[in-house]
Chains A and B, each alone.
Chain A
Amino acid sequence: MSPDTRLLSDLAPGQQAVISAVHADEALHHRLAALGFRIGRSVMLMRRGRWAGPLQVRLGATDVMLRQAEAGLITVQAL
Chain B
Amino acid sequence: MPNTGKSTLFNRLTGSSARVANWAGVTVDLASARILLGGHMAEMVDLPGIYDLHGFSDDEKVVRHFLEAHAIDLLAIVVNATQIERQLPLVLQARSLGLPLVLLLNMADEAKRHGMRVDTARLAARLGMPVVMISAKYGTGQPEALRVLAQALDAALEIGPARHAALKSVLSDDGRIERETAEMMAEAVTQPVLLPEQVSDRIDRLALHPWLGLPLFFVAMLAMFQAVFWLGGPLQQGLTALFDQLRQAALEPLAAVLPDFVRGLLLDGVYAGFVTVAAFVPLIVVFFLCMALVEDSGYLARAAFLTDALMARLGLDGRSFVMVLMGFGCNVPAVMGTRMMRERPLRLLSMLVIPLSLCSARLQVFLFIVSAIFRPAAAPWVIFGFYVASFATMILTALVFRRYFRNTEPFVVELPPWRVPTLGQVWMRGWLEVRHFLVRATRFIVLGVISIWLLTNLPLGAAPGSAATLAGQLGTLFVPILAPIGIDEKLTVALLFGFVAKEVMIGAFAVIYGLSGDALTHEFARNMNWLQAVSFMLFTLIYTPCMSTIATIKIESRSVAFATLSVLWPLVLAWCASFVFYQGMRVLIGS
**Which residues in A have some Cβ–Cβ distance to B below 8 Å?**
24, 28-36, 38-41, 46-47, 49-54, 56, 60-67, 69-70
Interface string of B326-364 (1 = CB under 8 A from A): 000000000000000000000000000000000000000
Q: Which B residues between 398 and 446 are near A, CB-CB below 8 angstroms?
A: 410-417
Chain A positions within 8 Å of B57 at CB level: 29, 33
Chain B positions within 8 Å of A31 at CB level: 410, 412
Contact yes or no, B411 A50, CB < 8 A: no
Contact yes or no, A56 B309, CB < 8 A: no
Check: B306 CB closer than 8 A to any chain A CB.
Answer: yes
Check: B376 CB closer than 8 A to any chain A CB.
Answer: no
- Also in contact, A35 and B412, with CB within 8 A (given A51-B309, A67-B312): yes
Check: B234 CB closer than 8 A to any chain A CB.
Answer: no
Binds A, one of B48-56, B503-511, B557-565: B48-56
Contact yes or no, B412 A66, CB < 8 A: yes
Main secondary structure of the interface of A (DSSP, over half): mixed
Query: How distant is A20 from chain B, measured CB to nearest CB, in Å?
Result: 12
Check: B98 CB closer than 8 A to any chain A CB.
Answer: no
- Also in contact, A34 and B51, with CB within 8 A (given A39-B56, A67-B410): yes
Check: B304 CB closer than 8 A to any chain A CB.
Answer: yes
Q: What are 30 inter-chain pairs, A to B, with CB distance below 8 A?
A: A28-B410, A29-B57, A30-B2, A31-B410, A31-B412, A34-B2, A35-B412, A35-B414, A36-B86, A38-B52, A39-B56, A49-B306, A49-B309, A50-B211, A50-B309, A52-B309, A53-B305, A54-B309, A54-B318, A56-B204, A61-B182, A64-B412, A64-B413, A65-B304, A65-B413, A66-B413, A67-B308, A67-B410, A67-B412, A70-B411
Q: Which residue of B lies closest to A28 (CB)?
A: B410
- Also in contact, A64 and B51, with CB within 8 A (given A54-B308, A56-B208): no
Q: Which residue of A lies closest to B412 (CB)?
A: A66
B85 touches which of A61, A67, A69 (Cβ 8 Å): A61
Q: Which residue of A lies closest to B308 (CB)?
A: A54
Chain B positions within 8 Å of A52 at CB level: 309
Taken together as a complex, chains A and B put the C-alpha atoms of A35 and B310 apart, in Å, by 25
Chain B positions within 8 Å of A32 at CB level: 412
Chain B positions within 8 Å of A64 at CB level: 412-415
How many inter-chain contacts with C-beta < 8 Å in the A-B complex? 94
Contact yes or no, A33 B208, CB < 8 A: no
Interface string of B2-45 (1 = CB under 8 A from A): 11000000000000000000000000000000000000000000
Chain A positions within 8 Å of B208 at CB level: 47, 49, 56
Contact yes or no, A67 B305, CB < 8 A: no
Taken together as a complex, chains A and B put the C-alpha atoms of A63 and B411 apart, in Å, by 14
* Contact-residue size bin, chain B (C-beta under 8 Å from the other chain): 20 to 34
Contact yes or no, B178 A60, CB < 8 A: yes
Query: How distant is A72 from chain B, measured CB to nearest CB, in Å?
Result: 11
- Also in contact, A63 and B85, with CB within 8 A (given A28-B410, A49-B306): no
Q: What 9 additional pairs, Cβ within 8 angstroms, besides A54-B308, A56-B208, A62-B414?
A: A33-B57, A50-B211, A51-B309, A54-B309, A62-B86, A64-B412, A64-B414, A65-B301, A65-B318
Taken together as a complex, chains A and B put the C-alpha atoms of A78 and B414 apart, in Å, by 23
Chain B positions within 8 Å of A65 at CB level: 301, 304-305, 308, 318, 411-415
Check: B210 CB closer than 8 A to any chain A CB.
Answer: yes
Check: B158 CB closer than 8 A to any chain A CB.
Answer: no
Chain A positions within 8 Å of B2 at CB level: 30, 34
Query: How distant is B384 from chain A, measured CB to nearest CB, in Å?
Result: 25
Taken together as a complex, chains A and B put the C-alpha atoms of A52 and B305 apart, in Å, by 11
Interface centre among A35, A36, A63, A66 (most CB of B within 10 A): A63
Check: B174 CB closer than 8 A to any chain A CB.
Answer: yes
Chain A positions within 8 Å of B417 at CB level: 63
Taken together as a complex, chains A and B put the C-alpha atoms of A48 and B306 apart, in Å, by 10
Taken together as a complex, chains A and B put the C-alpha atoms of A52 and B312 apart, in Å, by 10
Interface string of B169-210 (1 = CB under 8 A from A): 000001000100010000000000000000000001000101
Query: How distant is A15 from chain B, measured CB to nearest CB, in Å?
Result: 16
Contact yes or no, A28 B412, CB < 8 A: yes
